Amino acid sequence: MKFPNHKNKKILILGLGLLGRGVKDAIFFAEQGAKVTVTDLKTKEELKDSIEQLKDFDINYTLGEHKKSDILNSDLIIRNAGIPQNSSYLKLAQKKKIPIEMDESLFAKYCPCKIIGITGTRGKTTTATLIYKILKENLADKHVFLAGNIQGEATLPLINKVTKNDIVILELSSWQLQAFHWNKISPRIAVFTNLYPDHMNSYKNMTEYLNDKKAIFQYQKKSHYCILNKDQSRIKKLENEIPSKIKFFHKNDVPNDWIINIPGEHNLENIAAAIQVAKILKISDESIQKSVENFSSVEHRLELVRTINKINFINDTTSTTPISGEKALKSTKKPIILIAGGASKKLKLNKFSKSICKNVKAVILLEGSATDELENGLKVNKCDNLISGKFDNFEEAIKQAYSISLPGDTILLSPGCSSFGMFKNEYDRGDQFKKIVNLLT
């Protein structure tokens, strides 16, 4: 099915965002000759980097607000994943029968080639990136593309590049998968890494969150594949709902004699998932091993930034949930000075607090709506003596961690909380961390 031409159509980009996806979608439709309008609740100043990339295109803007008139004057709305599904503006569009799409699902609807989709609470990016690396290195007769919920990437523009012989790997968040439900489509190969509480500031409960995730497999055919985490009972329970062929992965699937260069037991699960995909595509064990052994940490995920005076600085800014913080602590060489805290996702922090008590020599707290709860958890567990300051200035927090460190220590940024308030997003938090650390002497 050929992708339709949108020349002279009125396209509304509902949510430009800061990560580049909205920008690339706006350019895609502008280059088709569409009449593009961009609307975002952020101001022109907040979006200046994104707007700068669009300066060569004739685009209309509504910034700092959304207007009903923009909705009603649209032929097609491209919804940013950050726009909640219960938005009054989306409801207005639905009432008026104005089509609403999302970048990834609109691409998937017309994509001529095989799509491999990866979802889960944690491990999506590492798993997707590793699958991409294995396939790119071992399928010389195919073009392999990585997109979806990847920083700086948009999926829709790939529609002009892919052919039926190619493979597209998509990292898919729960919000992006909502639109797969609308279109009743699922990837031909689906990977479900794990399921933990997350985004409870946006979802009513875990059932609602899981229901969005289920689009990864719900519309598959019998000939398709779904790869599930054997170690998680809540994932294994989905087995009876899946219409396709099921493959399980387990951390013990990774041979003991392989040299793994990404830290943490949780990453063995991500590697095991990638191995299953590679085997479905008939890549040899020897080739898989070579690709895995050459793979190192993805940016912002247990990323070694620098070693100064035998002190390691590790950037794990994408740790935006308590479970991520717990796994990071288990995966990091001790003694640890932890930088944690931030904005609330309405997730319980008590287990993270206990893990901090057991695993760190000191913790530096960042101000945010979740930080008081985290601090209270440390008090309840009788280890608030580990707190070495609470900061609303990131540079001061990092310098405090450095000032109390000794050779052999690890300074770990793994907040276990969302980033909003002090930072634009978690990537901004990680970029700032790296910039500050690289200026230390």
- pLDDT tens digit string along 261-304? 999 999 999 999 999 999 999 999 999 999 999 999 799 999 99
Residues 154, 237 within the same domain:
yes
d(CA 97, CA 413): 46
2 is a domain residue:
no
What 68-75 contacts at long range (C-beta under 8 Å, 24+ apart), as own/partner pairs, is: 68/92, 70/12, 70/37, 70/39, 71/12, 71/14, 71/96, 71/98, 72/96, 72/98, 73/10, 73/12, 73/37, 74/10, 74/11, 74/12, 74/37, 74/98, 75/6, 75/9, 75/10, 75/11, 75/99
CATH code at 121? 3.40.1190.10
Mutual angle of helices 285-293 and 265-280, in 10-degree steps: 140
Residue type, 188: R
How many residues belong to the chain? 441
Residues 70, 121 within the same domain:
no
Residues 109, 89 within the same domain:
no
DSSP structure string for 416-439: SSB-BTTBSSHHHHHHHHHHHHTT
50 is a domain residue:
yes
d(CA 271, CA 26): 35
Give residue-wise pLDDT tens across range 291-342: 999 999 799 999 999 999 999 999 999 999 999 999 999 999 999 999 999 9
Residue 207 CB: number of other CB atoms within 10 A? 8
- Residue 151's pLDDT band, with cuts at 50, 70 and 90, is confident
CA-based R_g, the chain, Å: 22
Last-in-domain residue among 70, 101, 132: 101
Residues 112, 211 within the same domain:
yes
Tell me the pLDDT of the chain averaged across its residues: 96
d(CA 25, CA 426): 22
Cβ–Cβ under 8 Å, residues 218 and 253: no
Last-in-domain residue among 293, 324, 357: 293
Residues 255, 340 within the same domain:
no
d(CA 438, CA 441): 8
Last-in-domain residue among 235, 269, 293: 293
Q: Averaged over 350-370, what is the pLDDT? A: 97
Q: Is pLDDT above 90 for 116? A: yes
4 is a domain residue:
no
d(CA 72, CA 90): 11
Cβ–Cβ under 8 Å, residues 228 and 248: yes
5 is a domain residue:
no
Residue 406 class from Cβ within 10 Å (0-12 exposed, 13-18 middle, 19+ buried)?
A: exposed
- Residue 1's pLDDT band, with cuts at 50, 70 and 90, is confident
CATH code at 377? 3.90.190.20
Residues 95, 112 within the same domain:
no
Q: Is pLDDT above 90 for 18? A: no
pTM for the model stands at 0.93
Beta strands 303-308; 311-315: pairing state: antiparallel
Residues 288, 359 within the same domain:
no
- Residue 145's pLDDT band, with cuts at 50, 70 and 90, is very high
Cβ–Cβ under 8 Å, residues 77 and 92: no
Number of folded domains that form the chain: 3
d(CA 76, CA 423): 32
Residues 340, 425 within the same domain:
yes
361 is a domain residue:
yes
Helices within 367-424 (DSSP H only): 371-380, 394-403
User: Can you read off the two tokens belonging to residue 377?
Assistant: 């958890």
Give residue-wise pLDDT tens across range 43-87: 999 999 999 999 999 999 999 999 999 999 999 999 998 899 899
Residue type, 380: V
CATH code at 37? 3.40.50.720
What is the pLDDT, as a whole number, of residue 227?
A: 98
418 is a domain residue:
yes
Residues 154, 260 within the same domain:
yes
Residues 359, 370 within the same domain:
yes
Residues 211, 191 within the same domain:
yes
Residues 335, 397 within the same domain:
yes
What is the pLDDT, as a whole number, of residue 323?
A: 96
1 is a domain residue:
no
For residue 172, which phi and psi values (nearest 5 degrees)? -130, 120
Range of the domain at 96: 10-101
